[in-house]
Amino acid sequence: MSSILKVDTIQTAAGGTPTAASLGLNVSGSVLQVVSAYQGSGVVTFTAGATLLTANITPTSANSKILIIASGSSERYTSTNTDHYFGNVNRSIGGGADAFLGRWADAAHYISSTSEREHASITILDTPNTTSQITYKMTTDVYGGGYYAKQCSITLIEIAG
C-alpha cells in the first residue's frame, strides 16, 4: 500500500517559506545555479581598464559562495617586443563600486614573423554575503601596447553555504 500527500504550499509556524535546512535537508555544497559568458576571437586593441566580459548572478541565499572561473588568451603580432596582458576579475554588488578580486597574467610574444598565443586563467571562491544581483567583470591591464586577438570566458557557479 502506498500513500500520496498533496499540498499547495508548505509554511513555517510563523507563516514564512521554509528553507531546505528548516525542513531537515542538508544542501550545503550543492550547486544552485551556473551562469557563463564567452567572447570569441577577434582583433581588438586592448587598453588598460577595458572591460572584456561581464556576467551577472543573483544568489538565492546570502550564505552562498560563488565559484568564479575566468580565462583569457592574447596574441601579440605587431612588434618584436614581449608585452604583458593582465586579466583582472572585479565584482560589483547591486550596481555599487567595483571590488578587485584577483588577477592573472600572460605574456604574448612576437618573434620575427611568428606570433605566439598565450592563455591564462584564475579560479576564485567568493563569499559576497548578499542576495542582490552581482556583476563580475573581466578587465584588462596591458603593458606594451599593440593589437591582440582575444578569447575570454567567465563561469559563475553558486554553491549553497
How many of the other CB atoms lie within 10 Å of CB of 65?
Answer: 18
Q: How far is residue 70's CA from residue 124's CA, in Å, rounded to a whole number?
A: 9
Q: Which of 37, 36, 18 is nearest to 27 (CA)?
A: 18
Most confident of 26-30, 36-40, 42-46, 129-133: 129-133
Residues 104-149: tens digit of each pLDDT: 776 555 555 556 667 788 999 999 999 999 999 988 776 665 556 5
Burial class from Cβ neighbours inside 10 Å (0-12, 13-18, 19+) for residue 44 reads: middle
Q: State which H helix or E strand residue 5 sits in.
A: none
